[in-house]
Amino acid sequence: MRLTLHGTRGSMGRAGPETMEFGGDTSCVDLVNEDGAILVLDAGSGLSRLNQALDPSPPRIDVLLTHLHLDHLQGLGFFRPAFSEDVEVHLWGPASSTMTLSDRLSRYLSPPLFPVRIRDLPALRFHDLRPGTYQVGNYEVTADLVCHPGPTLGFRITDGSKTISYLPDHEPALGEDFPRANEWTSGFDLSQEVDLLIHDFQYTAGEYQERIGWGHSSIPQTLQFATQVEARRLVSFHHDPDHNDSTLGRIHDEALGSGLPFELIPGTGGLTIDV
Amino acid sequence: MAQHPIEMILLKQWASLIAVPVWITDADGRLVYYNEPTEEIIGVRFEDAGEMSADQLAEVFVICDIDGSPLADDDRPLMIALTKQMSAHRRIRFLRADKQWREIAVTAIPIIGEGNRHLGAMVTMWEDSE
| Residue A61 · residue A81 · CB < 8 Å | yes
Confidence band for B58, pLDDT divided at 50, 70 and 90: confident
Q: Between chain A and chain B, how many beta carbons pairs sit less than 8 Å apart?
A: 49
The beta-carbon neighbor of A189 closest among B2, B114, B117 is B2
Partner-chain contact A175 B10, CB within 8 Å: yes
Chain A positions touching B12 (Cβ under 8 A) are 175, 184
| Residue B31 · residue B15 · CB < 8 Å | no
List Cα–Cα distances, B76 to A149, A254, B24, B70, B112, in angstroms.
34, 56, 15, 10, 19
Chain B positions touching A183 (Cβ under 8 A) are 1-4
Q: Report DSSP state, residue A54.
A: T
Q: How many CB atoms lie within 10 A of CB B23?
A: 23
The beta-carbon neighbor of A145 closest among B2, B6, B13 is B6
* Secondary structure of residue A51 in the 3-state scheme: helix
This complex has an ipTM of: 0.82
pTM above 0.90, yes or no: yes
What is the rounded CA–CA span in Å between residue B43 and residue B61?
11
Model confidence pLDDT, tens digit, residues A201-212: 999 999 999 999
Mean pLDDT, range A24-52, rounded to an integer: 94
List Cα–Cα distances, B119 to A107, B9, B102, in angstroms.
30, 11, 29
Q: What pLDDT, on a 0 to 100 scale, did the predictor assign at position B127? A: 86
Q: How many CB atoms lie within 10 A of CB A70?
A: 13
Q: How many CB atoms lie within 10 A of CB B24?
A: 22
Partner-chain contact B6 A151, CB within 8 Å: no
List Cα–Cα distances, B68 to A18, A49, B73, in angstroms.
74, 71, 15
